[in-house]
Structure 1
Amino acid sequence: MSFQRKNRNRLSLSTFLFALAMGPASAQSIDDVAARLKSTFSEQGVEIDWSGVSGDTSSMLLQGVKFKPAGVEQPMDIGDVTLKGISEANGDYRIATVSTNAYSRTEGELAFEMSPFVMRDVVLFADGTNSPFGGMLYYRAANLDDLAVKSAGKTAFSASGIAIEMSEFDGGKPVSMTATVPSFTSDLTLIEDPRYKDAINALGYQNIKGSILMDGSWNLADGKMDITKYDIKVDDAGTFGMTFSIGGYTVEFIKSVQELQKQMAAMPEDADNSAQGMAMLGLMQQLSFNSASVRFIDNSLTNKVLEYVGKQQGMSGKDVANQAKAIIPFGLAQLQNPDLTAQASAAVNQYFDNPRSLEILASPASPVPFAMIMADAMANPANLTKTLGVAVKANQN
């Protein structure tokens, strides 16, 4: 064999081996991918199983999938799940898309219907390592076109265009998250309790429409979790929003919580789980409170409620507002925080005079350990509002 032929053969072999190392996972590895998927869900306290596995790395099918979260007695039959575009890099399996079939389930008069759920750019991190995403399933995007809950054939709740996105995973940078529900509806005429039915009819909210938006980030390095926006908007009513920020939500914390949840789920219903409860409280001491807020932006709901309450009591909506202005300072006085009482009373007065927005904030000067919050709540609750830096604002932009 000539020198050139030997080199050509060596080059061909090395090229082939390089392609195997960098290319898609081999057809023989689909069982390994399935096993990795099962172990990933197991770390989260979810049992997942199937009746068969077929296909190859271009299109792999899990048949007859059953899904059982911890604490749930009966598994959910979600049908077939398809995985497409599987590759392997540094021991991690990367999957272009994971999708279910349309799903429906009926129990008595209640029915649940869901269009196919699709996740994109899924990563199943290597076994035998400390999962860099806390043992949770990581994906870049997920979409659900439609879901509906029906009662006696009528749609009680529906949502469409549900989408979740996460930033590219990099262990050294926070992962940003966005979730949107552009449209949801709810038929409140199906509520039969007369106490609520009368109020719903009087306020004119027999059928409501709205949207949901959530933005946040998680820094795996220090466990800082920020939800910078969580807004639920109801058309012709208002927007309820909240934010919060905590520290210490690390991968180690998540794994410890998951292990405790598994232990508690495996215990008989009548078993004494006080030890696990104490252990959970102990874990909570690792967290710290940075800030939180609750805000309502009015879009006609406040005046409608005032008028409704006024009619129930034989007075005007304005009289109800004035009555509330007079009562609230006495209720707030129990907090033993005169500055907060004065501030909150002024904010409530301003809001009732011109309903635009009302917000309650907690912004301590520095992060407060959960242990200190629990201690104040039990031993000195009057000091808690000062510890957390609670404030009330009205009609702020």
Structure 2
Amino acid sequence: MSIHRHFFSKLALSACILAAAAASVRAQDAAPIAERFKQLMAVQGMDITWSAVSGDASAFSLEGTRLVVAGNPKPFELGKISFEGVSDDNGGYRVGTVSTEPFSGTRDGLTITSSPFKMTGVRLPAPGTTGPLADLLFYEGAELASLDVKAGDKTAFSLQNVTAEISEPAEGKPMGFAGAAEKFTADLTLIEDPRSKAAIEAMGYQTISGDMEIEGSWNPVDGRMGFSQYDVTVNEAGTVGMTFDFGGYTLDFIKTLQELQKKMAAQPEGADNSAQGLAMLGLMQQLTFHSASLRWDDDSLTGKAIDYIAKQQNMKPEDIKNQAKAIAPFLAAQLNNPELSSAITAAVTKYLDDPKSLEVTAEPDAPVPFAQIMAAGAANPTELTKTLSVSVTAND
């Protein structure tokens, strides 16, 4: 009987050793994938570390992960990150989903909580891969169900149902991207400035809500970046819409920018950052400006603001409008651009008579280097509107 017990004890011990060895092999199989993920995150300015890897090459988790973003040395404690549906992809890896745990932390007196963040269709190219995405962690989609920022017991800001979609570039064409936040809220009663607080309360904007939509493209080969839509809508107020189009935003530009940010973040408080500042200005000169626009579509904010100002000055709303129309030509004349001054005066008059939309566009005939823009802005700001071909329209 003792022989049997001795035999079964050895058998159980052997099974435990084999199980432990198998677990170790699985973790080792997952380790190269985790390391490649770390390398690609670093390229994008994020340093990620973990305490352990569990699972195998098809599905694994990074335990005790910490994330440090370039320019911000304080880490985010993310906990566990799970990788599911991992497969080989031409020597690299494709991951079905990468997801975090729910997050909760405190920063600068604010409590931040979020639902799990999930990326789908994640690509981890093999080292030495050529092509525009060779050094990029690419994903096809991302989603975040909720994000809340609290100051004390009040929710200062929240986001719901944030999504993003990215299309892979092909044959030198740019990648397209789109994103949206189904709803956001902000508590403006937390603003401490008395005058701002009084205006917010008078116009009924103590708590605001709305949504956001973004769409654009980026070509990593030539660095051409464009936002065809960047709209933020505040319910019962209006929509701010922006577009941008600039060149030179290459992978090399991004890497150099991140290195400068790391150096500036590593400097002790009060240290001289002038050298890094000059380097940053030099780097910005690699960018070229193609076009931009800023548009406001009104949804009652203008009328509420005019009514508030009229009450403050003990005047009628119509008098405030006429006063603004009279002042506009004198202010616009300071631009030393008669054509633009005339357009501004006409747009202001048209908008105040029937508040629908105002739009400022800058669309030069040829791309303008950022170095030229900075030089013109420092030496002769009034010439900048001519250099960028700025125009103003209303209700179009």
TM-score by length of 2: 0.89
Question: Any residues of structure 2 matched to 1:299-318 within 5 Å, and which?
Answer: 299-318=299-318
> CA-to-partner distance for each residue in 1:13-72, whole Å, 9 max, x for gaps?
xxxxxxxxxxxxx87431111111212222233221111101013321100111111333
Unaligned runs of 5+ in 2: 1-25
SS in 2 for 1:75: strand
8 Å CA contact retained: 1:57, 1:85: no
Give the aligned partner of residue 123 of structure 1: 123
Residue 35 (structure 1) aligns with: 35
Distance 1:134 1:333 in 2: 51
Letter matched to residue 59 of structure 1:
A
Structure 1 segments unaligned to the other structure (5+ residues): 1-25
CA contact (8 A) 1:134 1:254 kept: no
Query: Against the structure 1 CA distance between its residues 274 and 171, is the aligned structure 2 distance closer, same or farther, given a 3 Å change threshold?
Result: farther
Q: How does 1:232-311 map to 2 (within 5 A)?
A: 232-311=232-311
- CA distance in structure 2 between the aligned counterparts of 1:272 and 1:185, rounded to whole angstroms: 39
Letter in structure 1 aligned against 2:154 = K
SS state at 2:99 partner: strand
AA of the residue aligned to 1:281:
L
TM-score under structure 1 normalisation? Answer: 0.88
Q: CA deviation at 1:224?
A: 1.1
Question: Residues 102 and 116 of structure 1 are in contact (CA less than 8 Å); yes or no, is this contact kept in structure 2?
Answer: yes
Q: Is the 8 A contact 2:27 2:54 kept in 1?
A: no
Q: Name the amino acid aligned to 1:391.
A: S
Secondary structure of residue in 2 paired with 1:335: coil
C-alpha distance after superposition, 1:175-204 (max 9, x if no partner): 001010011112223334322221111101
Secondary structure in 2 matching 1:200: helix
User: Corresponding residue for 1:323?
Assistant: 323
What corresponds to 1:96 in structure 2?
A: 96
1:133–1:251 contact (8 Å) kept in structure 2: no
Following TM superposition, by how much is the alpha carbon of 1:369 offset from its aligned partner in structure 2, in angstroms?
A: 1.2
Indicate if the aligned counterparts of 1:57 and 1:84 stay in contact, CA closer than 8 A: no
1:112 Cα offset (Å):
1.2
Structure-1 residue corresponding to 2:211: 211
Taking the aligned partners of 2:338 and 2:273, their CA distance within structure 1 comes to 42
Structure 2 match to 1:14? none
Aligned to 2:382: 382
Please identify, of 90-99 and 331-340, the stretch whose mean Cα deviation from structure 2 is larger.
90-99
Q: Bigger shift: 258-267 or 337-346?
A: 258-267
Q: Distance in 1 between matches of 2:31 and 2:248?
A: 36
Pair 1:193 & 2:218 matched: no
1:78 and 1:348 map into 2 onto residues whose CA distance is 50
The equivalent residue for 1:142 is 142
| Equivalence for 2:61 | 61
Equivalent AA in structure 2 for residue 207 of structure 1: T
Per-residue CA deviations over 1:277-324 (Å, capped at 9, x if unaligned) read 222222212111100000000000001000101111111122111111
CA contact (8 A) 1:104 1:113 kept: yes
Cα shift at 1:80: 0.5
Aligned residue pair count:
372
What secondary structure is seen at the aligned counterpart in 2 of 1:74? strand
In structure 2, the residue corresponding to 1:212 is in which secondary structure?
Answer: strand
Following superposition of structure 1 onto structure 2, how do residues 9-20 of structure 1 map, counting pairs within 5 Å?
none
Alpha-carbon distance, 1:257 to partner: 1.8
Report if the CA contact (8 A) 1:243-1:292 is conserved: yes
Matched, 1:353 2:359: no
Distance in 2, matches of 1:193 and 1:58, equals: 54
Q: Deviation per CA, 1:334-366, whole angstroms, max 9, x where unpaired?
A: 110011000110000000000000000001111
Q: Any residues of structure 2 matched to 1:331-346 within 5 Å, and which? A: 331-346=331-346
Name the aligned partner's letter for residue 382 of structure 2: A
Q: Distance in 1 between matches of 2:227 and 2:366?
A: 18
1-structure distance, mates of 2:337, 2:133: 42
Q: Indicate if the aligned counterparts of 1:214 and 1:231 stay in contact, CA closer than 8 A.
A: yes
Letter in 2 for 1:311: K
The structure-2 alpha-carbon separation of the partners of 1:310 and 1:269, relative to structure 1 and needing over 3 Å to count, comes to same
CA distance in 2, matches of 1:245, 1:319: 40
Structure 1 CA distance for aligned equivalents of residues 134 and 350 of structure 2: 46
| Secondary structure of the structure 2 residue equivalent to 1:138 | coil
- Mapped to 2, the partners of 1:192 and 1:382 lie a distance apart of 35
Alpha-carbon distance, 1:230 to partner: 0.4
Matches of 2:266 and 2:159 in 1, distance apart? 34
Question: Compared with structure 1, are the counterparts of its residues 356 and 220 closer, same or farther at alpha carbon in structure 2 (3 Å cutoff)?
Answer: same
**1:113 match:** 113
Following TM superposition, by how much is the alpha carbon of 1:134 offset from its aligned partner in structure 2, in angstroms?
A: 7.8
Change (3 A) 1:74 1:220: closer
RMSD between aligned alpha carbons? 2.0
Q: Could you say if the C-alpha distance between residues 157 and 263 of structure 1 is closer, same or farther in structure 2, counting changes exceeding 3 Å?
A: closer
2:318 aligned partner, one-letter code: K
Give the 3 Å change call, closer, same or farther, for CA 243–134 of structure 1 in structure 2: farther
Whether the 8 Å contact between 1:109 and 1:153 is mirrored in structure 2 is: no
Q: Aligned in 2, Cα 1:28/1:170: closer, same or farther, shift over 3 Å?
A: farther
Distance 1:371 1:278 in 2: 12
Give identity over the alignment, percent: 52
Structure 1 distance, partners of 2:263, 2:112, is: 30
Give the distance between the partners of 1:99 and 1:379, measured in 2 at CA. 50
Cα distance between partner residues in 1 of 2:187 and 2:296? 22
Aligned to 2:3: none
Distance of 1:201 and 1:317 partners within structure 2:
19
Structure 1 residue 159: deviation in Å? 1.2
